Amino acid sequence: MVGMEPYVLLCARDPAVVEAVEVSAAAFEVPLRVAHHPDDVRVAWPDASLRLVSTEVASRWSGVAPGRAYLVGDSAADLARCSAGLGLPVLPLPDHGGHLAEALSAAMRSERSRGGVVALVGASGGLGVSTLAASLALVAASDGAPTAAVDLAQAGGGLDLLVGAETVAGVRWPDLGHARGELADLVAGLPTVEGASFLAQGRESPAVPPQAAVSAAVGSLARSVGLVVIDAGREAPAVDCDQVVLVVGADVRSVASARMMAETRSVHPTSVVVRPGPGRSIPAEVVARSLGLPVLGAVAHDPAVPRLAELGMLPVAGPARRYRRHVAQLLTAVRNG
């Protein structure tokens, strides 16, 4: 959830390792969670600001989930062996060089000032997910909140086209394909429209960027703006998110598609947004109940939106007053989520 208190996860059984990390965490007033059972680790891993894995736990792993993680331990040989197998950097114990302390401090600094990351995933085609993602960013920016929209929809045409910024110079995904780790502030280099920044696909190289590049770019944006909105298309977002919002049409086919998507594509939504419109009249609460998810709101079809697109105008411009009002209500629900 947006606003969750950040914490560091330590995956360890060895009491000496646990004690050493607890001492450093206490010195920097860093909340620390210790887990070694696989189920406990699986639950705590996604939301941790930093993950520390002891060598005696890591020796039984064949891989690690996405996210910033380090190996910790007091044996140089064990650290080297586990690092080679898992591809993780190491933090030797005891922390004579202060590297563990530095990692703990940096993780808390970045996470405590981190903006919310919200991904929109479409249950079916024709629901205007990309338009909704861009609209959320534009409405948030109009309130004076620094906001960025990130384009991860496969062959979506580019979010910059939706807001008339296709010819605006700036960084796009082809420029970040090899990005890794922590990036400097990206916002200054992105195309900006009405105060909202857009990281769009390149139409000459439209492939979805590697997961490492996505994590690096979204992490940088989340440290710079109050809200990052991801247009994930119809796929699970390739980055940890505070909220994953499933956009579902108010019709039987879209609801059925949403169920299939959750079962077969590893999409784990936290809530739904319902899109009523012509031929889509199932009540929002019925859609939400059938999917077993809370409903954030309903954004009704507004014929002014496609007309604005034909004129090259923003989807939340004056004629689309009803649509903009619904987007603003959705934004409030996202911020309170």
**How many Cα atoms occupy the beta-carbon half-sphere of 133 within 13 Å?**
36
Query: Is 289 a residue whose pLDDT tops 80?
Result: yes
Closest CA to 151 of 213, 243, 242, 62: 213
Cα distances (angstroms) measured from residue 76 to each of 9, 16, 21, 97, 104: 22, 16, 17, 14, 21
Per 3-state DSSP, what percentage of the chain is helix, strand, and coil (rounded to 5)?
40, 20, 40
Among 125-129, 218-222, 324-328, the minimum mean pLDDT is found in 218-222
Q: Provide the pLDDT for residue 3.
A: 43
Q: Same topology for domains 8-111 and 114-335, yes or no?
A: yes
Closest CA to 163 of 197, 187, 186: 197
> CA-to-CA distance for 262 and 270, rounded, in angstroms?
11
Query: Is 203 a residue whose pLDDT tops 80?
Result: no
79 CB-near residues (< 8 Å, 6+ apart)? 55, 71, 73, 90, 92
Beta bridge partners of 39: none
Distance of CA 141 to the CA centre of its chain: 18
Query: pLDDT by residue (tens digit) across 103-118?
Result: 887 776 655 555 689 9
Selected from 3.40.50.300, 3.40.50.2300, 3.40.109.10, 3.30.2130.10, the CATH number assigned to the domain covering 8-111 reads 3.40.50.2300
Q: Report residue 69 as tokens.
A: 């993680």
pTM for this model (two decimals): 0.69
Query: pLDDT by residue (tens digit) across 2-56?
Result: 445 779 999 999 999 999 999 988 887 889 999 999 999 999 998 888 999 999 9
Query: Is 221 a residue whose pLDDT tops 70?
Result: yes
Which is it for strands 196-199 and 192-193: parallel, antiparallel or unpaired?
antiparallel
Closest CA to 130 of 152, 107, 114: 152
Residue 142 buriedness (CB in 10 A; 0-12 / 13-18 / 19+)? middle
Q: Report residue 84 as tokens.
A: 């080679």
Q: Where are the domains of the chain?
A: 8-111, 114-335
> CA-to-CA distance for 282 and 298, rounded, in angstroms?
11
Residue 76 buriedness (CB in 10 A; 0-12 / 13-18 / 19+)? exposed
What backbone torsions phi and psi does residue 220 show, to the nearest 5 degrees? -65, -45
Query: pLDDT by residue (tens digit) across 166-175?
Result: 999 999 999 9
What CATH number does the domain located at 114-335 have? Answer: 3.40.50.300
Contact 173, 199 (CB under 8 A): yes
Distance of CA 139 to the CA centre of its chain: 19
Contact 17, 72 (CB under 8 A): yes
> CA-to-CA distance for 7 and 30, rounded, in angstroms?
7
